[in-house]
Structure 1
């Protein structure tokens, strides 16, 4: 499989090593200084760029019939435009706030727990996410996904960053600490006890492995997909 890497930072380099170890070929490495590249030489593209260029990267792929997997967060104000482009060009597109297998299992646990807690109003919901200091967006895309999945099964209407607990919002605390790949905690607290689920990433390999697996799965497919499709969780 010929892979284009859109974004060649730490995640891009980790993806490169995992892809090469699996026998794939990296035919293109694009960073902020790359211009006039030919995306059509790739069978699939993996985008781990930055929020300001992610949508342009995805658009370029979809317009040129190259399936694209994106793990960049912080650009989702244009997500609906990307979906429209995917449909318009009959492309293949997977976006995930987190490609880690463990995190996607954590997403499923989070939804299941939210359903169980829905009518237990004595519990206050809160979340915390911790990432490395180079992460540009806050809260993380993973935290937003967790919050949105809780909202679907609760009386909460929104999430809010770094606020005190309210009746309508899920408060998310975002911390930036050097060399932390990613930790996410969901807490239900009452006067008598606390229920907590937590996922801690030890390194970036899980994210990168999942992105390569998603790219392998996407080649030859048309449509908009998620990691639930890739992992058979639907």
Structure 2
């Protein structure tokens, strides 16, 4: 377990040391509550710097993972997601030219994504995820909810001051698509598409960390 944690830390350090990355979360909902999800980490804006980093053994005290290590870890993640009941068609793409990694899947109900998160969490965190569901959809009231349980700012303060600088240019983008028109959404920073069938939320990572902005949202669909 400790070895696997070290691998994860080394891979994340490679992502974060670039100083510019985007995490994109895309959820497409069907009328019955099933749908598909794509989670992407995009570091293409730093691909030149990353290509140079990949040639090193370590940087800023972090071991630089090899391409094989990254590929193997992504494979492990995919296999673990595949084992989650209610999840199907799990795929991954790993582009070392543009430095983009994406994992996609289909789900029978969006709440199943909570189980995916639980499978990658400690027992304590798993209990919090089950209590504060990150994803939810009420088919009766036609309400989609994106929430979370964690205090990012509190955890952020535990990191090195030098490591915090890399979040100045990092961003989060959430895109949610629906088969029915969107009536309203609670998060004031979210934008409803002209088609009224999609909602996008784009935030600066530091604003999320400082609790100035939140990824939480409740989206009400028309009946």
TM-score (norm 2): 0.31
Looking at secondary structure, tell me which structure has more strand per residue. Answer: 2
